[in-house]
Amino acid sequence: MNARRCAAYTLTELIFVVAILAIAAAVAIPTAQPVAEFRADAAAGEVVNALRFARENALHSGEQRLFDCDAPANAIAVYALVTARTTTTASNMPVEHPFNRAPYQLTLNAAPAGNNMALVRCTFTFEDNSTATAVAFDGAGKLLRGAGNSPARERVLRAGQVVLGAGNVERTITVDATGRITVS
């Protein structure tokens, strides 16, 4: 009988290869968590920089600046405020970024904030318990309601939170009534 032998892998060899791949995956998966934490820290740092820039630019220019969150677009931006009589609105173009002179807009799921970042929540609460997704800095650096009519705009900020997330990693940027910005 002429027996032809086919070249193939044995079951033992296949099990051995699968075991090696499983060990490699078990070693690699825990290292992915610090990457998500690093990205969350980087994105939180960018949001903190935007808040500080809005305050410092308002102090330097003597004009009001608006820090605005856009959750559907997953973005934040810093705008100049335009006042016409008793109504204040945001300008059409964001304020220029101090380093690259481009509009100060930050998309959280793109560089430099990192991929897979999401603007989970952005809420600023004012002294009359009203809330908004934007906050303004006046020429003295005081936090006010963003845009709107004069009497309602004069409400001072009580607290604000911007929450960013990437998978199971979250960073909360808190702004208190004094303008102090912290990350947790």
All domains in the chain, ordered by first residue: 32-183 (3.55.40.10)
- Assess whether pLDDT exceeds 90 at residue 115: no
Question: What band does 87 get if pLDDT is binned at 50, 70 and 90?
Answer: low
Could you tell me which residues come within 8 angstroms of residue 169 by beta carbon, excluding any fewer than 6 positions away? 33, 36, 37, 39, 40
Reported as a single tens digit per residue, the pLDDT across 55-85 is 999 899 888 888 999 988 889 999 888 776 6
- Among 76, 79, 89, 97, CA closest to 162: 76
Q: What's the distance, Cα to Cα, between the start and end of the chain in Å?
A: 76
- How many separate helices (H) and strands (E) can be counted in the chain? 3, 12
pTM for this predicted structure = 0.74
> Cα(112)–Cα(117) distance, rounded to whole angstroms?
11
DSSP H/E element including 157: strand 157-166
